[in-house]
Structure 1
């Protein structure tokens, strides 16, 4: 009776191993959604898709960029683009509570793309996603850094806080990432 269970366990181990190999390092892991018990499985949600990752903060001079990021998402989501916002207090400008962060994102700016719970994004305590973003480009130096990732999980461009979501260079990088799906 144990033999079929051993076989099933072996097949599951091989399947899990194969999935990990197919998932680029950048997308290995999970994040908890903002104001939710749900998680975002980065590989399952974003593998094979172009992605813009942004570290955000509720009380930064660049916070109005949420409006432009939402417009970017709406403009390109039909072509497969995903956007992931990752709030962080690493630069001391994030709200004290997830409720307040959610209000800024969802109520004040109408964000519909995925937002995670606040995370560490710099230094030795940075979450794996941001360690890999930094390894492929550079670590965030302030809030609202934008990383454009192609469908293979590679950073094709990164932009500073000063780069608006409708900047021609950022749009060109997004279109390059979208083209990588094919």
Structure 2
């Protein structure tokens, strides 16, 4: 199984396969609009705007796993767009851990290891995926997106 075999759902309920992003570098992030780390939306948006013409995409997945998200996906997306100016693709409200975890995050956590094991510990855990669909690196919640910009650039070249 590869990441391209996984389908994800947008906040409007439409689903699509991640094979849409074959040949692109992806940064997949579990987000939360009420989280103390929400300032990372600015950095994520900046990276997206800087490199989107070079086949880079940021994919946001709001998670209510840690009790720091609004009540539904549409509200989460609107908050991201209105409050933080997010233009990168946002998705349905999901769980990132446990038996009800979204299949994408089951795949990501199974195939990468964080500082304290496979489980996602908090919002804004980030996964860098290369153009071949492989997980290159996993970044923790406190890793600011600009701190690993060179890792992204390396994958784009």
| TM-score, with length taken from structure 1 | 0.78
Task: Between the two structures, name the one with larger relative contact order (CA 8 Å, sep ≥ 6).
Answer: 2
Alignment-derived partner of residue 11 in structure 1? none
Write the deviation string for residues 143-166 of structure 1: whole angstroms up to 9, x where unpaired: 001110001111111111111111
Per-residue deviation at 1:100? 2.4
Give yes or no for the alignment of 1:65 onto 2:65: no
Alignment-derived partner of residue 162 in structure 1? 142
- Summarize the alignment of residues 1-182 of structure 1 with structure 2, pairs less than 5 Å apart: 25-34=2-11, 36-43=12-19, 45-138=20-113, 139-167=119-147, 170-179=148-157
Structure label with greater radius of gyration:
1
2:29/2:127 contact within 8 Å kept: yes
Write the deviation string for residues 78-111 of structure 1: whole angstroms up to 9, x where unpaired: 1110110011111111111233212221111111
Per-residue deviation at 1:124? 2.3
Distance 2:95 2:139 in 1: 19
Distance 1:66 1:40 in 2: 23
Write the deviation string for residues 88-141 of structure 1: whole angstroms up to 9, x where unpaired: 111111111233212221111111111101111112221221111112213321
SS of the residue corresponding to residue 114 of structure 1 reads: coil
SS of the residue corresponding to residue 146 of structure 2 reads: coil
CA RMSD of aligned residues (A): 1.4
Distance 2:65 2:130 in 1: 26
Write the deviation string for residues 34-76 of structure 1: whole angstroms up to 9, x where unpaired: 2x24323211x21221100000011100112111100010011
The alignment covers a number of residue pairs equal to: 152
Q: Hey, which bits of structure 1, 4+ residues long, moved more than 6 A?
A: none
Per-residue deviation at 1:77? 0.7
| TM-score, with length taken from structure 2 | 0.90
